[in-house]
Structure 1
Amino acid sequence: MSAKIESICGRYVTIEVGGRKNRLYFEEAGNGRPVLCLHTAGADSRQWRRLMNDPEINASNRLIAFDMPWHGKSLPPEGFETEEYLLTTEAYIETVLGIVDALELDRPVLAGCSMGGRIALQLAALHADRFSGFIAIEASDFQPAWYDIDWFHRPDAHGGEMGAALVSANISPHAPIAERWNTLWMFMMSGPGVFRGDLSFYTRDESLIARLPQIDTKATPVHILVGAYDLTCTPEDARRTADAIEGATLTVMDELGHFPMSEHPDGFRPFFLDALRRMPGS
């Protein structure tokens, strides 16, 4: 069997978040317009691996995906053992902008899924001048929890397996078996309390609702993608959110769930290509 070396290159960069140094892992592939890709709650940049290996996408786009602090190959900051991890909107925004500055990205397209889609809309409202456009995937204004997030960090339950159980209900039945389990494995690997800390941000911060009218899509376009099988951010949730942003566009993706780039990359590919074409510099 011949070996195959992928085009993805991984490195580390150190940025400050909340006055503390964070050594973050990032991967990149391709050439051309920068596209910064954000993973979902409780997972990491591996969710983007298939699209980052796509020759057509890489021909004119430089895809960059990083692991948030506490996620994947990014260690928590020093002293983490004395604190509870709870992601906030402010820390999330500071992290994303820190990566943009550290990698010297000139107004990249921002593509985020789930909590990454939520923060993409926050950045569209608050820091649109730093980006050329926004692809908000499985993104809505606010989603209160329909589950008890404390189940994901208990001494009598495996938080990763509990998280994977929740996630499994949000993966489309059309997803290939191998990619379904690759996606679930990332959640099984999640650090103690990390998924819970991400969901604290996702299910409790309502600040985006009032900020949606601030988004100027004439300056920076916003395109929302939502899977027809998404139970957490339903097509109705995404449509409500798009309607609150003047000029935003929306596509409902048949046969896809809440983790489209990971659970069914081949099915997601045409929708992602279409979204990229809608962004400046395509």
Structure 2
Amino acid sequence: MHGTIEPICGKYVHVDILGETCRVYFEENGQGIPLLCLHTAGSDARQFRHLLCDEEITRTYRVIAFDMPWHGKSYPPVGFQNHDYELTTERYVQTIRAFSSALRLDKPVVMGCSIGGRIVLQLAHAHGDEFKALIGLEGADFQHPWYDTSWLNRPDVHGGEVCAALVSGLVAPQSPDEYRYETLWQYKQGGPGIFKGDLYFYRVDSDLRGKLGGINTAKTPLYLLTGEYDFSCSPEDTIRTAQSIPGAKVTIMEQVGHFPMSENPAQFRQYILPVLNDIAERSASV
């Protein structure tokens, strides 16, 4: 029997986030332009494992994906048992900036999905000069909630199964079963109340409508890619958002839903490669 070792390398970094020391787990592979990947609500950085192993991408990009505190292999900060987890816009932005600073990343490209796609817009608005480019997957300035979060942290309900059931309809019907159930498995493993805490950001603390003025896409390009089967962040939501941001580039991806990088990596690759190539070409010409 011969084993195949993937090229992904996993590490921990200690990061100060709003006065709390957090032990953050991340995986990386490749060299070149830093590409910092942000996972969806209630999940973790395993969603980007296919990107991390893509030799064509890692020849040009140092792909980095981290588990946010409270997620995956990143523990909550000391004293977490004394309060509920709620992700706010301020905490999310500072988490990304603190992690980037801790790794001494020089103007990374940031690519986030879902809540990560939403926070990318805030980064473009408030901190665009810190990044080479920004990529929002399944991102828009606002979506009307379509779910009941009271089911996501109850002692009489299996939280992981409810989380997976909630998002299962967001996977496109064309996505291979292998990756569909891998994506849902990640949701089943989330900590108690973490999905609910992430959705606090999504439905309460991050309505960005009318708040994105001044984004300079000539200096920091902004790419928005949304799956045609996503009814949480619909193509119409993304197109509406882009119309308020001069120079934002929109792509509607066929045959994928809300988790393009994990639910159908081959299909997603057809859409993300041109974007990454465009960013690399822009970077080389500067």
Structure 2 residue identity aligned to 1:134: L
Query: Counterparts in 2 of 1:117-136, with a 5 A limit?
Result: 117-136=117-136
Aligned-partner residue type, residue 171 of structure 1:
V
Structure 2 counterpart of 1:137: 137
Determine helix, strand or coil for the equivalent of 1:163.
helix
Indicate the residue corresponding to 1:210 in structure 2. Answer: 210
Q: Which residue of 2 aligns with 1:163?
A: 163
> What is the CA–CA distance in structure 2 between the aligned matches of 1:127 and 1:207, rounded to whole Å?
18
Q: How does 1:237-256 map to 2 (within 5 A)?
A: 237-256=237-256
Distance 1:206 1:152 in 2: 20
Partner Cα distance (2:129, 2:209) in 1: 20
Contact 1:225–1:251 under 8 Å retained in 2: yes
- The answer as to 2:25 corresponding to 1:25 is yes
Deviations 1:164-188 (A, max 9, x none): 0011000000111010000000000
Contact 1:144 1:204 in 2 (8 A): no
The number of residue pairs the alignment matches comes to 282
Give the distance between the partners of 1:32 and 1:128, measured in 2 at CA. 20
- What's the CA shift string for 1:84-107, capped at 9, x where partnerless? 000000000000000110000000
The answer to whether the 8 Å contact 2:89/2:206 transfers is no
User: Contact conserved, 1:149 with 1:200, CA < 8 A, in 2?
Assistant: no
Is 1:229 paired with 2:195? no
Amino acid at match of 2:271: F
Distance 1:275 1:166 in 2: 30
SS in 2 for 1:281: helix
Please name the residue that 2:6 is paired with: 6
Amino acid at match of 2:13: V
Residue 270 of structure 1 and its aligned partner are, at CA, apart by 1.4
How far 1:65 sits from its partner (Å)? 0.4
1:204-244 superposed Cα distances (whole Å, 9 cap, x missing partner): 12442232222110110001000000010000001001111
Per-residue Cα deviation, 1:26-50 (whole angstroms, up to 9, x for no partner): 0100111110000000000000001
Mean Cα deviation higher: 239-248 or 202-211: 202-211
Unaligned runs of 5+ residues in structure 2 are none
Deviations 1:134-155 (A, max 9, x none): 1100000011311111211111
**Rounded Cα–Cα distance in structure 2 between residues aligned with 1:125 and 1:184:** 32
Q: Could you tell me which runs of 5 or more consecutive residues in structure 1 were left unpaired when the two chains were aligned.
A: none
Distance 1:16 1:159 in 2: 29
> Normalised by the size of structure 1, how large is the TM-score?
0.98
Measure how far apart 1:121 and its partner are: 0.8
Give the corresponding residue for 1:72.
72
Aligned to 1:281: 283
- Counterpart residue type for residue 22 of structure 1: C
In 1, Cα distance between equivalents of 2:211 and 2:33: 28
Q: Are the counterparts in 1 of residues 176 and 263 from structure 2 also a CA contact under 8 Å? A: yes
Please tell me the root mean square deviation across aligned C-alpha atoms, in Å.
1.0
Measured after TM superposition, the shift of residue 3 of structure 1 is: 0.8
* Structure 1 residue matching 2:213: 3-state secondary structure: helix
Rounded Cα–Cα distance in structure 1 between residues aligned with 2:26 and 2:61: 16
> How do 1:258-273 residues align onto structure 2 when only pairs under 5 Å count?
258-273=258-273
Q: Counterpart of 1:84 in structure 2: which amino acid?
A: D
Tell me the residue number matched to 1:95: 95
Secondary structure of the equivalent of 1:112?
strand
Determine the C-alpha separation between the residues in 2 that align with 1:206 and 1:25. Answer: 25
User: How do 1:38-77 and structure 2 match up within 5 A?
Assistant: 38-77=38-77
Residue 105 of structure 2 is matched in structure 1 by 105
| Partners of 1:243 and 1:105 in 2: CA distance | 31
The CA distance in 2 between the partners of 1:261 and 1:15, in whole Å, is: 26
Query: Which one-letter code corresponds to 1:281 in the other structure?
Result: S
Runs of 4+ in 1 over 4 A off after TM superposition: none
* Distance in 2 between residues matched to 1:269 and 1:216, nearest whole Å: 27
